[in-house]
Amino acid sequence: MRLNRIVQCTTVDGIYYHLEQTLNLDAVYDEAWYRATQDSPDSHLARSILMWVTHAERPFTVGALEQALVASKVLDEQEALAEDRILRACARLIRIEPILGQSLHDNSAETDRSWSPSDSVVALVHPSAHRYFGARRRFLFPHSNDTIVKACLTSSTADLVTQSLWHHHFIVEY
C-alpha cells in the first residue's frame, strides 16, 4: 500500500515524504553514525567532520573544512584531506560536489585558475540527514560550541600574530 503511494507521487518532495514515512530513516542514520564513529579507524575525524558540517550555516568547501579541522587540532597542517577519506570516514553521510557553475576542467578567463578538489562543497548527504543531525547535535556533539569557539579564536589569533609579526618585521627593516 505504501509503495503504491510512492509510485503515484508526481513530485520529488512527495516521493521523499512517502519514503520517509515508509522507512525508519532514524534507524538508517543511527547505523551510519555508529559505523562512522565507533567502527572506524577515522572515527575521531568522522565525528569532527560531521560536527562542523552539522553546525555550518552554509556548505563548507573542502579547503575550509581542512582549515577548521586544523584549527580544532584534528588534522596536522601538513595533512591533506582527500575527498575519498572524507566519504569513507563519514560512512557516506557526507556528499562532496563541485561548486555550482564550475566544471571539473574549467579553465575560463573568468576563473583565472582551474578547478581543484579543495573548491568542492561538503554537505550532509540529504535534507533528512540534516534534520536528523540537527535534532541530535547537542547529544551527538556535546562539546561542539567549545570546539568551534576555540578553533575560531585559535585561527583568528594565529592570523593576528602573523600580521603583527609581519608588521613588526616591516617596521624594523625601515
Q: Where are the domains of the chain?
A: 2-173
What are 94's strand-pairing partners?
Answer: 124
Cβ-count burial of 11 within 10 angstroms (0-12 exposed, 13-18 middle, 19+ buried)? exposed
> What is the Cα 139 distance to its own chain's centre?
18
Per residue in 104-140, pLDDT tens? 444 444 444 454 656 788 999 988 899 999 999 999 9
Contact 30, 73 (CB under 8 A): no
pTM comes to 0.69
Q: What single-letter DSSP state applies at residue 112?
A: S
Quote the CA–CA distance of 16 and 19 in Å, as a whole number. Answer: 5
Closest CA to 84 of 45, 131, 51, 54: 45
**What average pLDDT does the segment 93-105 reach?**
71
**Sequential DSSP letters for 45-78:** HHHHHHHHHHH-SSPEEHHHHHHHHHHTTSS-TT
**Residues 21, 2 contacting (CB under 8 angstroms):** yes
pLDDT (0 to 100) of residue 67: 86
Task: Indicate if the pLDDT at residue 166 is higher than 50.
Answer: no
- Does residue 85 have a pLDDT over 90? no
